Structure 1
Amino acid sequence: MDDINNADINANDISIDLVLNVFKNYSDKKKAKDIKSSVYTLICPDDLLANPEIDEAVDRILREDKKLGDESWLTYSKGYYSKRKREAPPTDAPMQISEYTGRGGECAVMSELLFHNYNVNRMMIDEGVDLVAVKDNIYYYIQVKTVAMREGKINAQINIENFDKFIGNQMRYVIVARCKDKDGHKNIFFTFTQQEISKGIYDRYVKRGERTVSIKIKFHERSGEPIMYDEKETSAKWNMNRFEL
């Protein structure tokens, strides 16, 4: 695995899943400063330099989690955080977040695109584009977001700066949702164009915040149909497991 240095870290990729992974068990208690230190050790074990962006990202995640009340993933008491015990099916266990996770998602997308006759390769430097694919002399830029399904729901975040930077290009966003089934693990893919996401923001089933664009997907409890949702809802059936860019 390639070494990670301070400059390679994208604070926008830090999530509640990563924060949960710093707790060894439910009785483990940590102050905010200890959580930040543990997160930094997880993603950059060989770099001792401080990174204010990491601290700010962890503070934001802790604030957002507190707002969830009884639905939060962490409890807070007397200056200490602990993992909250929640009843959830085994398929919803937080996925270990690491460089392997993101790279695995990229390779899974590459494999599917190759099966669909795209010539695809990975970018050597991460500047908001993970993959480039070409078919019939048309080039596509692809950003891959690998997430864990929790409680039957998917929540993927796209950095606002990168999203705005690529408007008007042949940009595609592919969400790789990792989950379990009866035979083990599987991936569910959702592919979106820049225009589809922009329309979702306008129609209010995709959330554009100050820092990220949030794409949330749930599944109808009877039909199993995927539904994108925020203030409003719409079907995401067209986008699921679709590899015609």
Structure 2
Amino acid sequence: MDDSNIIVNTDDISIESILDTFKSYSDKKRAKDIKSAVCAQLYPDSLLARPEVDEIVDLILREDKKLGDESWLTYSKGYYSKRKRKSTPTEVPMQISEYTGRGGECAVMSELLFHNYNVNRMMIDEGVDLVAVKDNIYYYIQVKTVSMKDGKINAQINIENFDKFIGNQMRYVIVARCKDKDGQKNIFFTFTQQEISKGIYDRCVKRGERSVSIKIKFHERSGEPFMYDEKETSAKWNMNRFEL
């Protein structure tokens, strides 16, 4: 079987998928071993090397190192291993990424159904996870499920997918998994393509070479959410809003 035409979905590569390659905290891997393990997770039937996977893994490892003592991995003598971290009250460790992603999609579907949208999942992932319709208007929805870390949210949108849907009824829904006094809960943020593009223009959202990064933090006293990068802007309008 010729698998040279398999398309790499970089949305599936994250720090969570890298952490999943380690069996325990004592497990140690070189960078090349992590790349091979991530590639094997995503494409178990492929025998080819995937330079795109290597590039994304290298980028994630570099960004993780910048976190210092807050990093998810430790690095010593050429080997990486998982760091034992103390959970904060707002932090929920992510589980296997496929389960997490599906859970987020189902949570969004449930909320949309409660808001009288007819909604269904796409069978093939081409940048759209859900399609919803209400009053004969169709919406395409991409869901990003992340864990809240240290009271902050960071979601990545693949740049090719983002550019591909400009001008369409596209909606991006971030599902942030976090803890509260009664257990765990989801916080939802819904953005239109235009709102994200304005955030990029206003330097509150970062557009990189490979992804659009939406970062959200909460005011210490009021709890109001803000999108931020070089500058910041309120995301209160977007929080837990399901009028697409």
TM-score by length of 2: 0.90
Could you tell me how far 1:9 is from its partner in structure 2? 5.0
8 Å Cα contact 1:191-1:240 kept in structure 2: yes
Partner of 2:12: 13
- More displaced, 197-206 or 174-183? 174-183
8 Å Cα contact 1:75-1:84 kept in structure 2: yes
Q: Distance in 1 between matches of 2:120 and 2:8?
A: 22
Could you tell me how far 1:8 is from its partner in structure 2? 6.8
Secondary structure of the 1:92 match is coil
Q: Distance in 2 between matches of 1:226 and 1:241?
A: 11
Secondary structure of the 1:134 match is strand
Q: Distance in 2 between matches of 1:72 and 1:99?
A: 23
Partner of 1:191: 190
Partner of 1:144: 143
Secondary structure of the 1:89 match is coil
Aligned length: 239
Secondary structure of the 1:244 match is coil
8 Å Cα contact 2:92-2:177 kept in structure 1: no
Q: Distance in 2 between matches of 1:17 and 1:91?
A: 17
- Say whether residues 1:155 and 2:154 are aligned partners: yes
- Say whether residues 1:216 and 2:220 are aligned partners: no
RMSD: 1.9
Q: Distance in 2 between matches of 1:68 and 1:27?
A: 21
Could you tell me how far 1:61 is from its partner in structure 2? 1.1
Compared CA separation, residues 196 and 108, structure 1 to 2 (3 A): same
Q: Distance in 1 between matches of 2:221 and 2:123?
A: 43
8 Å Cα contact 1:18-1:96 kept in structure 2: no
Please list every run of 5 or more consecutive structure 2 residues that lacks an aligned counterpart in the other structure.
Answer: none
Q: Distance in 2 between matches of 1:111 and 1:85?
A: 34
- Say whether residues 1:110 and 2:109 are aligned partners: yes
The amino acid across from 2:18 in the alignment is V
Q: Distance in 1 between matches of 2:80 and 2:144?
A: 28
Q: Distance in 2 between matches of 1:58 and 1:173?
A: 24
Could you tell me how far 1:213 is from its partner in structure 2? 0.3
Partner of 2:125: 126
The amino acid across from 2:124 in the alignment is I
Partner of 2:81: 82
Q: Distance in 1 between matches of 2:71 and 2:32?
A: 19
8 Å Cα contact 2:172-2:190 kept in structure 1: yes
Q: Distance in 2 between matches of 1:143 and 1:215?
A: 14
Q: Distance in 1 between matches of 2:146 and 2:104?
A: 9
Q: Distance in 1 between matches of 2:73 and 2:242?
A: 37
Partner of 1:49: 47
Partner of 2:240: 241
Secondary structure of the 2:45 match is coil
TM-score by length of 1: 0.90
8 Å Cα contact 1:174-1:189 kept in structure 2: yes
Secondary structure of the 1:19 match is helix
Could you tell me how far 1:70 is from its partner in structure 2? 4.0
Q: C-alpha deviations, 1:100-143, integer Å up to 9, x for none?
A: 21111111111111110111111111111111111111111111
Partner of 1:226: 225
8 Å Cα contact 1:216-1:229 kept in structure 2: yes
Q: C-alpha deviations, 1:181-227, integer Å up to 9, x for none?
A: 23222111000000000000000110000000000011111111111
State the identity %.
84
The amino acid across from 2:110 in the alignment is S
Compared CA separation, residues 168 and 33, structure 1 to 2 (3 A): same
Secondary structure of the 2:204 match is coil
8 Å Cα contact 2:204-2:233 kept in structure 1: yes
